[in-house]
Structure 1
Amino acid sequence: MGFMDRGWVATDFGGPDVLRLVDTEVPAPEHGQVTISVRAAGMNPADYKRFAKGPNNDASALPLPLGFEVSGVIEALGPDTEIASGGGAPGDPVLAFRISGGYADRVTVPAADVFARPERLSDPEAANLLLAGTTAAEMLHVTGVRENETILVHGASGAVGVSVLQQAGLLGARTIGTASARNFDTVRRFGAIPVAYGEGLEQRLRELAPGGYAAALDTVGTDEAVDTSLALVADRRRIVTIAAFSRGQQEGFRAIGGAMPDSAAYRAQIRPHLIELAGSGRLVVPVARTFPLEEAPQALAVLQSGHPGGKLALIP
């Protein structure tokens, strides 16, 4: 039988004021499904972008359930069903990505998207590992970053940036990352050289890497980030953005997003590797704050301010 639970939905397109906490009936899991009691829901810019006003809004998709990743415990498994990492029993700690409707007390999701949670990770950390982590991994993958190369990361102190710095370090690359001065310690903590964005950025970057840059990875999408990438990296196949889609089309460099089939396929298959890295302490998820599930709109406002200082999670 299903239970009455709560979950956040967007009832319209706009800001956090369009969100409602509604009663939802969570279906019992069928074959190939798992019901998870949510202990933490990860929060990502993709969450508020999902219900932002835009030219392509489709009102027939409303209400939109929010939340692409969670951590929690298995409540029930469908018949003859194992989770993606094998086995699974009620009470086991798990994380799940990429799902729909994670801002909730409970979710029933495909077992193929559910993995055992490493002991080392707290629920808020586990709930915030995979969206940023798979995005970062794909950025490094499509630009072909290798050992001993010097790469440029725009927005190095944000969630995707921090994951890029760590994963690039594991590949043996040297990273130089743009950030605001107050976030320099974060950039240094993850093994990169920080540089302040703003006027004169290109010159500062040239001085830091006289041998040049092999690749540029942009997580912010500003014209400054794109212009300096184009000025510093000759091979446009080694420039990637997750934000400046129209510039990418105009200038002939790569733009990637989770909705693109190639991106979705790569991000799905890299999940076990990232969980293994996090489980062994080689990939960490800095969490800034947690909020009660009831405070999702306030938490999204903090996230949207652009300066949360780490990941945010909702706690049912």
Structure 2
Amino acid sequence: MAWQVQYREFGGPDVLEFVEVPTPAAPAGGVVVETRSIGVNPIDSKLRSGARASAPIDEPRVPGSDAAGVVVEVGPDAGDWAVGDEVVVRNARGAYTTHLVASADQLVRKPAAVGWEEAAAIGVPAGTAYQALKSLGVELGTTVLVHGGSGAVGQAALQFARNWGATVIATASERNQDRLRDFDAIPVVYGPGLLERVREAAPGGIDVVLDCAGTDEALETSFALVADRSRIGTIVQGAKAPSLGIRAWAGGSPVPMTAEELALRGEAYGVALELMELGDFEVELAANYPLSQAADAQDMSITGGLRGKITLDPQA
């Protein structure tokens, strides 16, 4: 038997149920992964609460899109995957479970040097940051401003941009300035006077902005710094992006991602894992909860004010 977290109606964390279910079988072209760690993302709570639109619930729905674990069963035509392979699952469906079904093309090999929690935590942050920066044209010599640089996506963006040879300015609260310096970013405190502080930090100007904060201050500062709004992207204010003339990917955006953008998000897993193996990329972990306490983990991810990723332990 397997265990999973599910919900049958939209609502608060209390609608989540921890239930025993039959262990799934590997389908043709796919595998069953016994999960070792599961990533918790804000989108999980938004979908569960109904804050982010989704289809009506007509059967129990299992949240989660990030997981890492061990292949325990392989279906026919699943390529060269084998029982015992340690993997990260890309774009998982229903990751809050002890036994996750995935297609062969969703799997990425996990390097032995990368821990389970780190592997499960990279998906949404690394995929979002990598795709957004690539779509905005960040490369060697670019000067990029990242609003909300101490969050999970922000930290991933700082590291990718640094590794590509960009100059990075990043905003965060006073208490998170040292974290920005860890990634060689030039730290700037948000709040009154932000525009002047950014201009002082980047006298040559800003080429690209990635907004991971979503505040009016962040957007207004961005508009004052970058005239070409196609080089301003947001992962938070997607619903407003078309009317503002800026770019957005998911985050409530009515514009679907292109095939190229989706491919970039998938590509990010392998890139991040390789950098992690080399010691050039890291994921900050905030808390680890048993899978049975997923409601507490989701509540903490929205309201707890933690810096770093929250994960679930399906083996606890």
Alignment TM class, shorter chain as reference: over 0.9
- Residue 264 (str. 1) matches residue 259 (str. 2): no
Specify the code of the residue in structure 2 equivalent to 1:208.
Answer: A
Identity level (%):
39
- Residue 135 (str. 1) matches residue 128 (str. 2): yes
Q: Equivalent residues in 2 for 1:189-268 (5 A)? A: 189-257=182-250, 260-262=257-259, 263-268=261-266
Q: Following TM superposition, by how much is the alpha carbon of 1:117 offset from its aligned partner in structure 2, in angstroms? A: 0.6
TM-score, scaled to structure 2 = 0.92
Q: Equivalent residues in 2 for 1:148-187 (5 A)? A: 148-187=141-180
Q: Following TM superposition, by how much is the alpha carbon of 1:61 offset from its aligned partner in structure 2, in angstroms? A: 5.0
What is the DSSP-based 3-state SS (H/G/I as helix, E as strand, rest coil) of the residue aligned with 2:32?
strand
Q: Following TM superposition, by how much is the alpha carbon of 1:57 offset from its aligned partner in structure 2, in angstroms? A: 4.9
Q: Answer yes or no: is the 8 Å Cα contact 2:114–2:277 preserved in 1.
A: yes
What count of residue pairs does the alignment treat as equivalent? 309
Q: 1:250 to 1:228 in 2, by over 3 A?
A: same
Distance (whole Å) between structure 1 residues aligned to residue 86 and residue 57 of structure 2: 35
Q: What is the CA deviation profile of residues 141-181 of structure 1, one whole-angstrom value per residue up to 9, with x for unaligned ones? A: 11101212221001100000000000000110111111111
What is the DSSP-based 3-state SS (H/G/I as helix, E as strand, rest coil) of the residue aligned with 2:57?
helix
Q: Following TM superposition, by how much is the alpha carbon of 1:210 offset from its aligned partner in structure 2, in angstroms? A: 1.4
**Structure 1 segments (4+ residues) deviating >6 Å:** none
Partner of residue 41, structure 2 = 44
- For structure 2, the 5+ residue unaligned runs are none
Distance (whole Å) between structure 1 residues aligned to residue 211 and residue 52 of structure 2: 24
Distance (whole Å) between structure 2 residues aligned to residue 10 and residue 190 of structure 1: 39
What is the DSSP-based 3-state SS (H/G/I as helix, E as strand, rest coil) of the residue aligned with 1:194?
strand
Q: Answer yes or no: is the 8 Å Cα contact 2:47–2:54 preserved in 1.
A: no
- For structure 1, the 5+ residue unaligned runs are none
Distance (whole Å) between structure 1 residues aligned to residue 52 and residue 126 of structure 2: 29
TM-score, scaled to structure 1 = 0.92
Q: Answer yes or no: is the 8 Å Cα contact 2:140–2:165 preserved in 1.
A: yes
Distance (whole Å) between structure 2 residues aligned to residue 302 and residue 279 of structure 1: 29
RMSD, aligned α-carbons = 1.7
Q: Answer yes or no: is the 8 Å Cα contact 2:139–2:165 preserved in 1.
A: yes
What is the DSSP-based 3-state SS (H/G/I as helix, E as strand, rest coil) of the residue aligned with 1:240?
strand
Distance (whole Å) between structure 2 residues aligned to residue 61 and residue 138 of structure 1: 33
Partner of residue 304, structure 1 = 302
Alignment counterpart, residue 113 of structure 1, candidates 96, 100, 106: 106
Q: Following TM superposition, by how much is the alpha carbon of 1:106 offset from its aligned partner in structure 2, in angstroms? A: 0.9
Q: What is the CA deviation profile of residues 168-205 of structure 1, one whole-angstrom value per residue up to 9, with x for unaligned ones? A: 00110111111111111111111111111112211111
Q: Answer yes or no: is the 8 Å Cα contact 1:26–1:108 preserved in 2.
A: no
Partner of residue 289, structure 1 = 287
